[in-house]
Chains A and B, each alone.
Chain A
């Protein structure tokens, strides 16, 4: 080998990650075009109004809501990674709230229906949800119970006279809670005090006794509709049980794994977008006679951010590979979740800093990302819960 053959760095070459193939690229491309044309132009408006239901209808029409779902239910029959791609591409809108609303529909509420639902339930909810005709939500958190899922109080009492369950309780922080047609509801059906008391239900949101109490105001995610819900003597037939009675805790723990993966993919893509945008800014913006990016201290900020993003992406992809292979990698997913959640906040803050006063202004949309991304350290399991999960996995 001569030195002329020594590889020279080529930073712009596109390298497909090993979990993706050409079909994935084509899918990414078509989602990207849709996002640029039909979502991004309205993102600012939706921050004020929340995004309209028509987004879900339209995405259903285009087949984007069931990318990895079986063809017999109207899905595209794609692999698990196709959903990661959707989450990544939705990040380009800069509307974390909209992306979250879609994610709750496709990757939080939908998977348990597919995994644990009866054929009848799938026909009633999954098929129209994939088609974008019905909107899904998921109810875990309550005013007095969040991370401690076993501590929830919403109760479903069996009424043997009518073979119905009567549900009472309340749920909070429910994404899509106002727009949803149905909620996958986590309830207690037993009194043993353990994990085997929990049962999932599919509760239509138009039933008597389902009360949408308020639209919650938030730090970020303004495009998302977040609800406080109350359930007062809501009667559902026993056929509304999703999965097995008493297995709800384990069902929902499984659901959370997929939710965390999707969150990771979207958040890393969001951080990458911020990075790209800020890099351009640092090259354009001049101070003391040169682009600010040429100052060493700014250059190293980019090096630090790029490293964090690259680590986060590899951790997400390699863990997604395990998940796609039907492993149940709770430890690795928890690691990815906490790592990603932290670094996207750090990246957002550093991008805000590099933008200076402009970063603080609404116009540049950096402050919005800063607010939106902050949720990642709380939602779908806080940093602290993730650390506890990881620590316990070693027998500690």
Chain B
């Protein structure tokens, strides 16, 4: 556009990164993008096929310092949530939603409550090795009979001498098969509900069984059904205050939803870039298909979706990082980004035609992976409930 600006007689410096990102973050973004392109993307097919990715991914991420970006320096982190946001967005380009989710489930979802509410001993035991890539964790909230309605959880922790005895089950637990430790929401009163839920840090061991679930997408993610059969959990593994679990869940949701929004933006941009290259190359009726107006407008529509989501999510991120609750902004960002990611992936499949339907082009995978967005981390319907209620309705 700068030549246009010249012709118009106005100057136009190059694009600067939108706040809250700085030039340093841009540089970091380039580094992460290179890493994702060279070390993750080439393995995406294999890991999708295997329905698992190796733990060595965590080791490598730790080596690069990517697992501790947002965590305090004293535990091995960088204390830079904005850099973590860059990392999450760029992971969206790895070619496997399950891989991105598997990484995010540990560093973005399971470890933050430990960092936020954990005792010093808990942080040393779980957070530090988690940042080093030596331990993986998963957050276990959803159950076969309770999803969005967190107050309906049934997994019960009964007081016994020196701790708790846990019985129940959890499902859709991303990273749950491999996880060494589960940050688990349990009922600590008979009533449960908003004032009767607590979090226990449960080590994998006797009485804990995890099995993988088959899914529409996210194949590289080891999504687990987990059962607890008379599992003893020692007193010191209570996370935060007893019966305050509901508020901890709510507190964690903001970051999780922001991550989902950023990841979706990264994934949309990847689909867009890949499909744009295809539309410029693929010819029909004597010209590149991208030169047909109807296809050009499809790209325009997709670009608008990506850029508007970026504007919204970046502002939500900025507010969140500044310590504001940003509930409305985060909720809206989650809602629109997940819906748009599905729409964008679907258009990209369409533009690819028959090739889009084929596994080889990885676009059908993007569509399947994106479809989880409007469900995971709080459904679209729940997002709208939260927003609507925030206006006093």
Contact = CB atoms under 8 A, between A and B. Distances in A.
Interface string A363-396: 0000000000000000000001011111111111
Given A18-B19, A283-B392, A303-B385, A315 B247 contact: no
Interface string B1-36: 110110111111111101100000000000000000
A135 B271 CA distance: 49
A303 B303 contact: no
A285 interface: no
Given A2-B240, A306-B391, A394 B299 contact: yes
A177 B141 CA distance: 64
Interface stretch (A5-13, A60-68, A121-129): A5-13
A384 B301 CA distance: 10
Interface residues of B, number: 69
Contact of A318 (B295, B315, B325, B336): B315
Interface in B252-310: 276, 279-280, 290-291, 293, 295-297, 299-301, 303-304, 307-309
Contact of B390 (A11, A315, A328): A11
Nearest to B244: A3
B336 A332 contact: no
Nearest to B332: A307
Contacts, number: 201
Given A8-B325, A307-B335, A1 B117 contact: yes
Interface string A274-306: 000001001100000000011010111011101
Given A6-B250, A7-B251, A327 B297 contact: no
B278 to A, nearest CB: 12
B12 A327 contact: yes
Contact of A311 (B13, B279, B312, B387): B312
B8 A254 contact: yes
A338 interface: yes
Contacts of B332: 306-307, 310-311
Contacts of A325: 13, 16
B300 A11 contact: no
A362 interface: no
Contact of B251 (A6, A306, A310, A391): A6
A115 interface: yes
A244 interface: yes
Contacts of A302: 387-388, 391, 393
A299 B296 contact: no
Contact of A306 (B7, B315, B328): B328
A18 B309 CA distance: 17
B120 interface: no
Contact of A327 (B13, B291, B383): B13
Interface stretch (A77-85, A90-98, A245-253): A245-253
Contacts of B204: none
Q: Report which residue of B10, B276, B295 has the largest number of chain A beta carbons within 10 angstroms of its beta carbon.
A: B10
B1 A393 contact: yes
Given A6-B248, A299-B384, A386-B300, A251 B116 contact: no
A395 B291 CA distance: 8
Given A388-B296, A388-B297, A306 B387 contact: yes
B107 interface: no
Nearest to B318: A18
Contacts of B328: 9, 11, 306, 310
B63 interface: no
Nearest to A312: B308
Interface string B90-129: 0000000000000000000000000011000000000000
A396 B384 contact: no
A389 B279 CA distance: 17
Contacts of A293: 391-393
A37 interface: no
A396 B299 contact: yes
A15 B319 CA distance: 9
A299 B5 CA distance: 45
A335 interface: yes
Interface in A188-221: none
Interface string A333-369: 0011011000000000000000000000000000000
B325 A9 contact: yes
A131 B9 CA distance: 26
Given A311-B311, A396-B280, A298 B393 contact: yes
Q: Report which residue of A312, A335, A396 has the largest number of chain B beta carbons within 10 angstroms of its beta carbon.
A: A396
Contacts of A17: 315
Q: Report which residue of B117, B276, B312, B318 has the largest number of chain A beta carbons within 10 angstroms of its beta carbon.
A: B312
A329 interface: yes
Nearest to A6: B251
B388 A303 contact: yes
Contacts of B7: 247, 250
A396 B299 CA distance: 9
A243 interface: yes
A339 B308 contact: yes
A16 to B, nearest CB: 11
Contact of B1 (A116, A251, A311, A331): A331
A144 interface: no
A163 B167 CA distance: 95
B241 interface: yes
A315 B297 contact: no
Contacts of A254: 5, 8-10
A311 to B, nearest CB: 5
Contacts of A8: 325
A10 B301 CA distance: 34
B15 A329 contact: yes
Given A3-B248, A388-B293, 6 more contacts: A9-B325, A18-B19, A247-B8, A250-B9, A296-B385, A393-B1
Interface of B: 1-2, 4-5, 7-16, 18-19, 116-117, 240-241, 244, 247-248, 250-251, 276, 279-280, 290-291, 293, 295-297, 299-301, 303-304, 307-309, 311-312, 314-315, 318-319, 323-325, 327-329, 332, 335-336, 381, 383-393
Interface of A: 1-3, 6-11, 13, 15, 17-18, 115-116, 243-244, 247, 250-251, 253-254, 279, 282-283, 293-294, 296, 298-300, 302-304, 306-307, 310-312, 314-315, 317-319, 321-322, 325-332, 335-336, 338-339, 384, 386-396
13 contacts: A2-B241, A3-B117, A247-B8, A306-B387, A311-B332, A314-B315, A319-B311, A322-B16, A326-B10, A326-B11, A328-B12, A338-B304, A390-B300
